[in-house]
A and B are shown apart, each in its own frame.
Chain A
Amino acid sequence: MLDDFFTRAVLAGLGLALVAGPLGSFVVWRRMAYFGDSTAHAAILGVAFALAFDISIYAGTLAVAVSMACLVSALVARGQAMDTMLGVLSHSALALGLVAISFVPQARSDLGGYLFGDILAVGRSDLVLIWTGAALVLGVLILRWQRLVTSSLNEELAMAAGIDPRVERLVLSLALAVVVALAIRVVGSLLISAMLIVPAAAARGWARTPERMAAGAALIAAASVILGLWSSLRLDTPAGPSIVTAAAMFFVLSQALRRG
């Protein structure tokens, strides 16, 4: 069954969807959308490093994404104007990545693959990595769920309960970095944030509790993967963008139903 490239693509996408739903909900709750962007855009720099030094793409992007997450956290903690700072970092990281990657001859040809993902080329080892990483991040989120939700809702209330909001913020930043690294093959560095935010935003309209929103976001992300890949096969459109387009359609649908 795993011999079929399409089956592998679906499985890889579903693995990502499973973790992108809950994590994306936190991104929406904490208004970290730009934060996700800057981490994701930095991933392309990671790809350049990985190719230049001949290490795994996942290791390269993970290292750069983690450094970026730490850098942003540090700047925010120092009280920099958040949106400007992230705007600077996000696009500088992307530009720097594109410049760096142009020095690596073998990468120039499949630059599009890193920007928009190449889910149809996912191999067995990619699948193992994606599912292991997704399970790991999901496990951490579930174990720390109460703490994470409390400190996302209100940091003072969290502190009163003996929770250190800084720790929870760091956990989320690191989880984000891991998911960015996992997603680079699936939707590419330009669309990772969309995979996190769009399904969560679509689930927001129907959800009455954080748990339902997280579960709803995971379901919508999974449905987007299946619908996107299916239409990609039928219409011969690029897979990553098709998945995000499907998610965007679910979002529009959720908004329309909400009003009606």
Chain B
Amino acid sequence: MLEIKALHASINGNEILKGLNLTVKPGEVHAIMGPNGAGKSTLASVLAGKEDYEVTSGEIVFDGKDLLELSVEERAREGVFLAFQYPVEIPGVSNVNFLKTAMNEIREHRGLPALSAKEFLSLVKEKSALVELDATLASRAVNEGFSGGEKKRNEIFQMAMLEPKLAVLDETDSGLDIDALRIVAQGVNTLKTSDNATLVITHYQRLLDYIVPDYVHVLFDGKIVKTGGKELALELEEKGYDWIKS
């Protein structure tokens, strides 16, 4: 589904990713761990197509398509979803309106008719229950006045609505208390199918107690330096990142 080959990317002339390789198949959950500054969030941004980052060499193939050729919105419509570390507030735009606009754009891209208001609203009801999101949040402005936990749950709610092929969770656990963490993880697990894949980017092992990865990769200085099963996360937790560096 996703194949990243020898990816080099920089921001403002500083090279952050220095030859990253990664292959993700449908149905798999991959965790990317690493110390601060290793390039974890850069990877997420490059996958989503954020303009600030310049890909200097390498390739990313997603579902047989050259992802780097696609615009931000085309990637999203093809099924790449980024759960933001810091979700953005959009004052005056209701969550529902925002999502309906997004969904219809994606559906149009896939040759599907727009959802009727009724279908859409029943979907909102179903999916918001998944992340125990208060129904009133759906009618409030996008992320405006949401608590940190509500913002993260809102990201997973949007993910549930948009049904991406590849979900990239960028530090989704940061700032979450243990209950919110459990709810978010449960949401992600419920959405897992044999056709989609999840890339969990995290600094800490604790999220992986709830979202159990098939593979754990350690990102260090712009490259993946170690790959293993879920037990690698525990080992990292115990020994710290210095273990990798040495």
- B is bound to A: no
**Contact residues of A with B, CB < 8 Å?**
none
**Contact residues of B with A, CB < 8 Å?**
none
